[in-house]
Amino acid sequence: MLATRVIPCLLLKNGGLVKTVRFRNPTYIGDPINAVKIFNDKEVDELMILDIIATRQGKGPDFDLLSRIGREAFMPMGYGGGIRTLEEAKRILSLNFEKIIINAQALENLGFVHQLAKVCGSQSVVVAIDVKKDSLGRPRVYGHTDGQTRKIELTTYAIQVANNGAGEILLNSVDRDGTFNGYDLNLIRMVSQVVNIPVVALGGAGQLKDFAQAVQSGASAVAAGSFFVFHGKHRAVLITYPQKDELGQVLRVYEGLNQ
């Protein structure tokens, strides 16, 4: 039986690991190489690494750091942040990453997603969609580089992303980011109902049952940041990953849905 993937999502800023709350106040967590080693030892299903300021700084991915990270990992990994060209994407894939994650560049030009899918294969192309609610509570596509929401309807955008060959959507709720309040289940339902490609839920996971609820709402895989790097109510930095049987118990009920 195919297991639901449970994916730690790590944020990079200037070569260090950070964690945000609602996309703000990045708190330094530690050294990325060390963290990846620990996650590898814990045999996580998959790892996602996002550089949150690479696009804004305009200098592209930190290939040197990524190549060191790639050497530590015998697990599937995805990287996003600052990827603007096919050459950059290919170079990431050559550093032992299976997936490239595109966000800002997809908002600007979905043709880029199409091109990547054609050359690298859909299974290697993930499009991250950040979603923020507007003052009326409607979910809007959010551009993290300018802090502005986009006019395009979320579901329309998700369909366009899928039609352009993305293999997966990483659906991130800005409002839930770092809150431990659980995933935005309506958001997951909304997007997973309109696309056939896997939707990976991100933003808000605080306990194991949140994973199960996300899957029940249509997510094919679940990702989280704070859940895997903070411990206790004072948010001490501690890298954890649930045991296989713990995850099995909460997720098994729903895994039939993926068969």
Partner 1 sequence: MIVVVDYGMGNVGSILNMIRKTGGSAIISGNLKDVEMAEKLVLPGVGAFDNGVKNLQDIGLWDILNHKVCKNKTPILGICLGMQLFTDGSEEGNLAGFGWVKAKTIRFRFKEDARQIKIPHMGWNQVFLKKSSPIFQEMHKEPRFYFVHSYHLICEEEQDVVSVTRYGHEFVSAIQKENIYATQFHPEKSHKYGLQLIRNFVEVC
Place of tokens 């170079």: 91
Only one residue has tokens 């899928």, namely 162
Amino acid at 173: S
**From CA 57, how far away is CA 72, in angstroms rounded?**
27
Site string for partner 1, 19-58 (x = CB under 8 A): ---------------------x--x-x-------------
| Residue 73 touching partner 1 (CB under 8 A) | yes
Nearer to partner 1, 164 or 226 (CB): 164
* CA nearest to 50, candidates 121, 114, 5, 104: 104
Among 18, 29, 35, 95, binds partner 1 (CB under 8 A): 95
Q: How far is the CB of 46 from partner 1 (least distance, A)?
A: 8
Q: Is 64 in the site for partner 1 (CB under 8 A)?
A: no
Min dist. Cβ of residue 66 to partner 1 (A): 12
In degrees rounded to 5, what are phi and psi of residue 78? -125, 150
76 binds partner 1 (CB under 8 A): yes
According to the binding rule CB under 8 A, does residue 4 interact with partner 1? Answer: yes
Residue 105, SS3 per DSSP: helix
**Rounded Cα–Cα distance for residues 172 and 207 (Å):** 17
Please give the residues from 141 up to 200 whose contact with partner 1 meets the rule CB under 8 A.
167, 196-198
User: In the annotation, is 184 catalytic?
Assistant: no
Query: Which residue in the list 41, 51, 64, 130 is annotated as catalytic?
Result: 130
Tell me which residue has tokens 């942040």.
Answer: 81
* Positions marked active-site: 130
